[in-house]
């Protein structure tokens, strides 16, 4: 795989969601976004590239599959979000709402959202480095994509003592339907819980530093937050009970729960740690 794209650097990647089939029958696929604006889909089982698309003119910064695996959402350094079909290799839509600011997060979730008064098969969000989050309701089979909410989080004008601004990160909350969690550079060091139904922040959790990575467990009420101070914090919600863990040699720039919620992967400059969560 690496030999196929030796001249380009991989900026982001995502696993295709598992189809519901008999054990061992599924084909494992991963999609990767590159510095030349291309997207490549690889078959893990066949160890080969199956598809190459070029939906962006600049480097990719975020990528995700739709919940059914039928569409690929990709975000670029210029803030454009492209929706492409891995079946046809065509880009079917380009969204410019975040234009001018790099996309930091793309996430899709399957939801029941008749409460929101819109049609669709899933919700998805895009976050950009200018502290803005857009939330969309989509039905890709019917070519529907509707903006559901637009969030903009304030920040002080002149940050002091920060070499670079912390990233803007958002994620749907698995245990609170219709809620998303946001962390980023702002007026306070905190994680914000925003209700899409109430259109407001409904909870704030104080953090010791500005977050550099974020992940919410899909199986239990746990949130993992990484910091530039070589620290990982595990928060039990809604009690906000916190446990801090050292062990990284640098900024914890990635944390990701496994689908089971029983393991947590974290990464810094030269260390990748795998944590196992106990039931207690």
Domains of the chain: residue spans and CATH: 85-276 (2.130.10.10)
Is residue 27 within 8 A of residue 36, CB to CB? The reply is no
Q: Which pLDDT score, from 0 to 100, does residue 6 have?
A: 56
Q: Which residues does 43 contact at the CB level (< 8 Å), separation at least 6? A: 27, 28, 29, 49, 50
Angle, alpha carbons 73-255-43 (nearest 5°): 45
CB count within 10 Å of CB 30 equals 16
Q: Which pLDDT score, from 0 to 100, does residue 2 have?
A: 46
| pTM summary value | 0.90
Q: Which pLDDT score, from 0 to 100, does residue 279 have?
A: 64
φ and ψ of 37, to 5 deg? 90, 5
pLDDT in tens, the chain (280 residues): 444 555 689 999 999 987 655 555 555 899 999 999 999 999 988 889 999 999 999 999 999 999 989 999 999 999 999 999 999 999 999 999 999 999 999 999 987 555 577 777 789 999 999 999 999 999 888 888 999 999 999 988 766 655 688 999 999 999 998 899 999 999 999 999 999 999 999 999 999 999 999 999 998 899 999 999 999 999 998 888 999 998 898 999 999 999 889 999 999 988 999 999 886 5
CA 201 – CA 220 distance, rounded (Å): 22
Nearest of 12, 138, 130 to residue 64 by alpha carbon: 12
């Amino acid at each position: 795989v690496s030999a196929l794209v030796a001249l380009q650097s991989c900026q982001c990647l995502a696993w295709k969601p598992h189809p519901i089939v008999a054990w061992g029958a599924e084909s494992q696929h991963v999609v990767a976004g590159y510095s030349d604006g291309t997207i490549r889909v690889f078959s893990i089982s066949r160890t080969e590239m199956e598809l190459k698309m070029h939906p962006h003119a600049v480097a990719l910064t975020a990528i995700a599959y739709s919940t059914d695996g039928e569409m690929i959402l990709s975000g670029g350094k210029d803030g454009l979000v492209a929706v492409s079909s891995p079946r046809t290799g065509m880009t079917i839509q380009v969204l410019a709402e975040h234009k001018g600011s790099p996309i930091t997060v793309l996430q899709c979730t399957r939801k029941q959202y008749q409460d929101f008064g819109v049609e669709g098969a899933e919700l998805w969000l895009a976050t950009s480095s200018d502290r803005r989050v857009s939330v969309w309701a989509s039905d890709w089979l019917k070519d529907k994509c509707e903006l559901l909410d637009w969030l903009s989080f304030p920040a002080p004008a002149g940050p002091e003592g920060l070499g670079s601004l912390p990233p803007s990160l958002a994620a749907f909350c698995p245990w609170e339907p219709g809620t998303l969690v946001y962390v980023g550079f702002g007026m306070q060091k905190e994680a914000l819980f925003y209700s899409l139904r109430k259109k407001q922040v409904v909870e704030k959790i104080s953090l010791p530093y500005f977050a550099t990575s974020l992940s919410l467990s899909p199986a239990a009420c746990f949130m993992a937050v990484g910091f530039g101070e070589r620290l990982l914090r595990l928060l039990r919600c809604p009690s906000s009970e916190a446990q801090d863990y050292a062990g990284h040699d640098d900024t914890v720039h990635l944390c990701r729960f496994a689908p089971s919620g029983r393991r947590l992967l974290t990464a810094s400059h030269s260390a990748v740690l795998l944590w196992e969560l106990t039931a207690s």
